[in-house]
Amino acid sequence: MGSDKIKIVIFGAYNAGKSSFIRSIDPQARSVETRTSDDSTTVALDFGRVRIGEKKVYLFGTPGQERFEFVRQILSRGMHGAIVIVDVTRELDDMTRSLCEALASRNLPYAVFLNKCDQAHASPDNFMEISSVTYSSRMSAMTGENSLESLRGFVEEYFTTISC
Ligand SMILES: Nc1nc2c(ncn2[C@@H]2O[C@H](COP(=O)(O)OP(=O)(O)OP(=O)(O)O)[C@@H](O)[C@H]2O)c(=O)[nH]1
Ligand SMILES: [Mg+2]
């Protein structure tokens, strides 16, 4: 990919809102999902794209279920940055914590997006352990509130070169 193209991979635990986030950014996004009893879950990937300034940003959403680790590894190849989507209506879970630890140990820009902030019982303050150490933002993938702004902030902070 040339320097005007950025591959960002979206990680997060099962049901965190990864597919919803990509759809909130790109209404034409495509997902490979399967039906569950009351919802749907990603089994392969989500794909969406958006232009931010001069950058073409390609978003690859991963499946959240543990058993799809091999898919996450395939989608991670060649990524320039990563975003971890976190459901802040729940407790911090082991998968989210280990995803953040793995990304922090790589020399790669990554962000933590605190999702489902539209919910009355959302507790984004409980996630300081993972959100205070890197770029983070609060949003709602469902309403779309602050979703594009969060992505724009991340891209502008890490991928935009300011020429003097
Ligand atoms: N209230 C609220 N619900 C949300 C939000 N984002 C996602 N959801 C809901 O959470 C559920 C899971 O959303 P998905 O986008 O499918 O989550 P995912 O992380 O892609 O899930 P997997 O692919 O199965 O890991 C759906 O019922 C969404 O409608 C949000 O910001 N607020
Ligand atoms: Mg999904």
Taking only the tens place, the pLDDT of each residue in 97-141 is 999 999 999 989 999 999 999 999 999 999 999 999 999 999 999
Distance CA 52, CA 115 (A): 21
Within a domain: 81? yes
Q: Is residue 22 part of a domain?
A: yes
Q: Look up the CATH number of the domain holding residue 92.
A: 3.40.50.300
pLDDT of 162 strictly over 80: no
Kindly report the protein residue whose alpha carbon is nearest to atom 9 of ligand 1: 17
DSSP class of residue 120 equals T
Lowest mean pLDDT among 29-43, 46-60, 82-96, 117-131: 29-43
Q: How many domains does the chain have?
A: 1
CA–centroid distance, residue 18 to ligand 1 (Å): 7
In a domain, 53, yes or no: yes
150 within a domain of the structure (yes/no): yes
Q: Whose CA is nearest to atom 32 of ligand 1?
A: 116
Span 82-96, average pLDDT: 98
CB 137 within 8 A of CB 111: yes
Report whether 112 contacts 84 (CB < 8 A): yes
What residues contact residue 90 under an 8 Å CB cut-off, 6+ apart?
none
Domain hosting residue 72, numbered range: 5-159
Quote the pTM value. Answer: 0.95
Residue 149 lies in a domain: yes
- What pLDDT does residue 43 have? 86
The predicted model gives 80-108 an average pLDDT of 97
- Cα(17) to centroid(ligand 2), Å: 7
Q: Is residue 44 part of a domain?
A: yes
Flag whether 164 is in a domain: no
Closest C-alpha to ligand 1, atom 11 = 15
**Bridge partner list, 57:** 6, 50
Determine the Cα–Cα distance for residues 93 and 83; give it in Å rounded to an integer: 16
Q: Which residue's structure tokens are 């205070």?
A: 132
Please state the rounded mean pLDDT for residues 30-52: 91
For residues 153-162, give the mean pLDDT. 89
Inform me whether the pLDDT recorded for 4 exceeds 60: yes
Give domain status of residue 117, yes or no: yes
- Give the single-character DSSP code of 127: G
In angstroms, rounded to a whole number, what is the distance separating the alpha carbons of residues 20 and 36? 16
